[in-house]
Structure 1
Amino acid sequence: MFTGIIEEKGKIREVKLSGVSGTIKIAASKVLEGTKLGDSIAVNGVCLTVTQMDDAGFSADVMAETLRRSSLGSLSKGDYVNLERAMAADGRFGGHIVSGHIDGMGTISKVKNEGNATWIYISTSKNILDLIVEKGSIAIDGISLTVAKVSDVDFAVSVIPHTASETTLLDKKIDDCVNLENDIIGKYVQKFFSCGGNENSAQEKRDRKILEFLNL
């Protein structure tokens, strides 16, 4: 589990893709502290398992599902990525619950400045927008952010200078893709109501059969 509070920006050392899978090597320093083989690191919001390490960084395998769901397949040597180690049990929970399992991608449609903040508008699919609420949370390339606006076609976040300097978000340009992870609580609530409707329907059928059996 992650919090969406980025610890450092890493630099892509190498990307090797063969067919629908591959390996990614990332230069990093802070996220290596206390990390061992098999640990998880979120790379632009994607939970990856550390398979190799050296003093300059780490490597991770990337599977087909990861490439389908995220923008990792478009990374090139020299690109910067947001990095976060899995949350320690005794750590501060500064962001929100982030699993590192990407729901899909969005496209930056507009960027505008307002005082010391920068508004970023992101267009995405309906199934992702349906789980976004104003003042709720969303992870964009692994960054925990508060939704400032949401419409039928896009949503917007307001980025403060600290977030801008510590992450890669403002390095993005119009039409660039970003990884999106909806708030896990919203997904469970949607699932609950979806299942609840089916359960109620089944319960009603059982109740009718019981009444018929009792001739009531």
Structure 2
Amino acid sequence: MFTGIVQALGRVRSVHAQAQDRDLVVQCPTVILEKLSLGASIALDGVCQTVTALDADTFRVHAIAETLRVTTLGRVSEGDRLNLEPALGAGDPLGGHFVQGHVDGTVTLQGKSARGDSIAYSFRGPEDLVRQLVPKGSITLDGVSLTVGPDLGQTSFEVFLIPHTLQVTTLGDREVGDQINVETDVLGKYILRYLSGREQAGTLSAEALHRAGFGDEGGRE
């Protein structure tokens, strides 16, 4: 479990192909390494990974083929910067929102525009993903907890980034056309799933009525 509050930036030191998978070796500050151990979870640009090796200034993770397909970890290369957040510990402050590190997919940065001291980033993504968003709801982009802006369409949405966020995360480096990892609010997913089940359960059809005995010869009284 994470909160979407990036604690440091790491840099990819090396990438090692492992059949269809990849091992990533990431250099990071001591403040991150002190919180890690073998088998610990850490979010890389919002993607939950397991630490498989540690040394003086790096850690290693093993990203499987499905992770590489769904997230941007399949495209990172040596020298790239990554947002880092170790797993939430007991008693740690919940500064953002509940983040699982289970990325739903990627969205495309469509535009950037100044809004006072902030910058509005507009994105386009799959309709089934964007429909999980609500204005002023929570969203995780490349591991950063953000608030969905009011301009929400069927396949588009926006967020507002303050100067601090642009400075301490990789979102300040992103350019139009870049792909960004996105994880929608897990609470919203459960609500959608629940409502979808109720709709299906409440749908009447000729077949369902027939199974219930309606429409049989002689009918029912």
TM-score normalized with structure 1 length = 0.92
2:144 is aligned to 143
| 1:153 and 2:155 correspond | yes
RMSD: 2.3
Shift of 1:201: 4.7
**Residues 27-70 of structure 1 deviation map (CA, whole Å, 9 limit, x = unaligned):** 01222113110000000000000000011120000001101110
Shift of 1:178: 0.6
Distance 2:134 2:22 in 1: 35
Segments ≥4 residues shifted beyond 4 Å: 204-210
Structure 2 counterpart of 1:163, which letter?
T
| 1:195 and 2:197 correspond | yes
Shift of 1:200: 3.6
Count of paired positions: 216
2:120 is aligned to 119
Instruction: Map residues 170-181 of structure 1 onto 2, 5 A cutoff.
Output: 170-181=172-183
Unaligned runs of 5+ in 2: none
Distance 1:185 1:209 in 2: 39
Distance 2:171 2:22 in 1: 25
Distance 1:209 1:32 in 2: 65
Distance 1:20 1:106 in 2: 23
Instruction: Map residues 1-216 of structure 1 onto 2, 5 A cutoff.
Output: 1-29=1-29, 30-148=31-149, 149-201=151-203, 208=212, 216=221
Shift of 1:209: 5.1
Partner of 1:36, secondary structure, is coil
**Residues 77-125 of structure 1 deviation map (CA, whole Å, 9 limit, x = unaligned):** 1110000011112111110111000100011110111221011111111
Report the identity percentage. 36
Distance 1:74 1:195 in 2: 37
Shift of 1:74: 0.8
TM-score normalized with structure 2 length = 0.90
Distance 1:150 1:201 in 2: 29
Unaligned runs of 5+ in 1: none
Partner of 1:150, secondary structure, is coil
